Structure 1
Amino acid sequence: MTTAHPADPAVRPDLAVRRFVLVAVWLPVALVAIGAAVQLVLLPQMPPTIAVHWNATGEADRFAPAWIQPLMTVAFGLGLPLLLALTSLAALRRGDRGSTYRLLGATAAALSALVAVGFTWTFAMQAGSAETAGAATVWAALIAAFAAAGVVGMAAWFAQPRQEAPDAAPRPATPLPIGANERVLWIRSTSMVPGAAIAIVAAVLAIGAAAAVAWVTGADPILVAFLGGLAALLLVFAATTLAFRVRVDSAGLHVTSVLGIPRFHVPLADIASAARVEVAPVAEFGGWGLRLGTERRFGVVLRAGEAIEVVRRNGRRFVVTVDDAETGAALLEALVERAAARS
């Protein structure tokens, strides 16, 4: 008789979810709450203005009212960790598994530790100072913050059970019935989710404005060139990745930006199978756009939800989020089946 390990997801299907919530939600809340509480206790001892930024030599170069630091600790210490957690939980609860989710849980915990320790240390080292200019250098705080992030991240990783994806390859779609000589075509358009598109456009405008201000105020030419180049790069990225056309025909799967580039083509002869899958962009690909994922996946990931996933004959997988993915995948399966029957 075989005895299953108690941490086996097959025996405790909710264990991965509960441990993920523990390290990605409750641990960040606890760490940030402790850090913010310490800062509030020290607040009466702080000068009215404190150092909040240090240059490359470790010397303070930006300052703000002391009461801002506890607020920033909560905002930065919980903002990104909770975003990672909340965008992953839905997929975990529906049964998705894999090392990506375990890594995201550990990352959320590590980020909260980094912020809580770093912000609290830099706050505490200025307590009792009569003048902000006398604030100590930041190196000890940085070392402590990164060390805490490393320790907490590793602990959070090992606190979660090993998460094996139940199906490494998706189940192929049921082929559509098509005639031996019938010509078929399936076309859809897909665009980036509005929130992500707005964020990209806002980033382009913000960096472009920063470059313009730097140029007008006579800033270092290297800084102006860097900001200008970054704004141009983001503009190209936005223009070429906000919307795509997806086409299935006898030549295979074609995914092309509305501007013509970039374009991706998976030939019919290279397709082992096609399926409709559900995609969680942050959890599975780390975000939106042209993304690399685990398990040899590459995706044109513009939103959450249904997508066509093609498994190539070499095992690599191509994903594109698009409406009516079931029909597109079923047509690809039919075309692959017909091509095999002809050979």
Structure 2
Amino acid sequence: MTRPDPAVRRFVLVAIWLPVVLVAAGVIVQLVALPQLPSTIAVHWNAAGEADGFAPAWTQPLMTVLFGLGLPLLMALTSLAGLRRGDRGPTYRLMGASAAAVSALVTVALTGTLVMQAGLDDASQAPTVWVPLVASLLAGAVVGVSAWFLQPRTESVDAATRPATPLALAPNERVLWMRTISMSTGAAVAIVAAVLLVAVGAVVAWVTGSEPAVAWLLTAVALILVFFAATTLAFHVRVDDTGLHVDSVLGIPRFRVPLADVESAARVTVNPMGEFGGWGVRIAPSGRRFGIVLRTGEALEATRRNGRRFVVTVDDAGTAAALLEALVQRAGARP
């Protein structure tokens, strides 16, 4: 029986087992403190650190489990499949460290704010939140940094690619290749869900009379997310005698690789998380690859004269690469 790769084992340790231990310890402390608490406790504080929101005491352990364990597990499970498949890169290491940090921050914050109210007769007497808030930030930072160094260093490799075999073209033959690409269903759902979550938060902030600055901030973030979602969910890809063109279906953004700037073209297989840190318009950690990465799988990669690579995930990428190679050769654009 083969043992799991060290990168997978360490990731599972920091992103799953460490949050389980942290949350279990926090919930035990909270359950022990419950008999000493008023039935209603403070759960929200204003900018001055004064309690202004209240809830039943039993909700605090529940929130600790939901957010202190639920969020890290969500982060871990979205990355674990790629790691087990053999994908590598600093993004996975960062996700593991972030999962551990979120768990520590949430657990310390919720446990601290609950325990400090033990012995009170009325939740309105709750102390200011600054001590548990600072403690939770420090805990998140320490646990996150420790989790980063507990995981082995791995790098995504920008492997050299072999140029595609050029298509046979007559001297005056006009050829055009076009495809439309769209975000994978899972990534699109995640983006839309994030937009809706922020939009709902903005609506709630306006309806409940929250501070105008908070309401306007949430509104601005929601509008920015709507713009980026609308302009990056689908693109038109075209190869013709002027080069490679990738345009959002809404017209912006637009990307060009002129024929004279193409050193080579190839069909490659792309893993968004491991190679680019996610989906969308991305720059690889190496800084040498820029991509329109909407899904896992085949992609067209055009290497520029300066060595930088432009990648776009698209069906029939092999044909596109072969055509681009043929057009460059016919135009005499390659020295």
What's the TM-score once normalised by structure 2's chain length? 0.84
Q: 1:202 deviation in Å?
A: 5.3
Tell me the distance in 1 between the aligned counterparts of 2:140 and 2:206: 38
Change beyond 3 A, Cα 1:168–1:71? same
Task: Indicate yes or no: 2:20 matched with 1:37.
Answer: no
1:179 aligned onto 2:169:
yes
Q: In 1, are the aligned partners of 2:283 and 2:291 still within 8 Å (CA)?
A: yes
- Give me the TM-score of the superposition, normalised by structure 1: 0.83
CA offsets 1:183-239 (integer angstroms, 9 cap, x no match) = 332211112234444454455556556656766777766555545444433333233
Name the SS of the counterpart of 2:118 in structure 1: coil
CA distance in 1, matches of 2:160, 2:50: 53
Percent same amino acid among aligned pairs? Answer: 66
* 1:267-303, Cα deviation, whole Å (9 max, x unpaired): 2332334444444445544443333331113332333
Cα distance 1:223–1:82, how it changes in 2: closer, same or farther (>3 A)?
closer
Judge which range, 313-322 or 245-254, deviates more. 313-322
Q: Secondary structure in 1 aligned to 2:47?
A: coil
User: In 2, Cα distance between the equivalents of 1:162 and 1:86?
Assistant: 20
Partner residue in 2 for 1:8: none
The question of 1:50 aligning with 2:41 is answered yes
Q: In the alignment, what sits opposite 1:102?
A: 93
Q: Which runs of 5+ in 2 are unaligned?
A: none
Mapped to 1, the partners of 2:210 and 2:302 lie a distance apart of: 49
Conserved 8 A contact 1:88-1:283 = no
2:93 aligned partner, one-letter code: R
1:309 to 286, 297, 301: 301
Cα distance between partner residues in 2 of 1:339 and 1:78: 58
* Deviates further, 282-291 or 82-91: 282-291
Q: Does 1:142 align with 2:139?
A: no
Q: Alpha-carbon deviations, 1:163-201, whole Å to 9, x = none?
A: 133x32352353243225343322111122344444544
- Cα pair 1:170 1:277 within 8 Å, conserved: no
Q: Distance in 2 between matches of 1:93 and 1:262?
A: 34
Map of 2:55 onto structure 1: 64
Distance 1:55 1:319, change over 3 A: farther
Aligned length: 331
Deviations 1:97-150 (A, max 9, x none): 222222222222111111111111112112222211111111111211111112
Cα distance in 2 for partners of 1:161, 1:212 equals: 43
Gaps (5+ residues) in structure 1?
1-11
Rate the CA distance shift 1:50–1:218 in 2: closer, same or farther, 3 A.
closer
Match of 2:75 among 68, 84, 91: 84
Across the aligned residues of Structure 1 and Structure 2, the Cα RMSD in angstroms comes to 3.0
Q: 1:228 to 1:155 in 2, by over 3 A?
A: closer
> Residues 46 and 280 (structure 1 numbering): CA distance in 2 closer, same or farther, change over 3 Å?
farther
**Distance in 1 (alpha carbons) for counterparts of 2:258 and 2:79:** 32
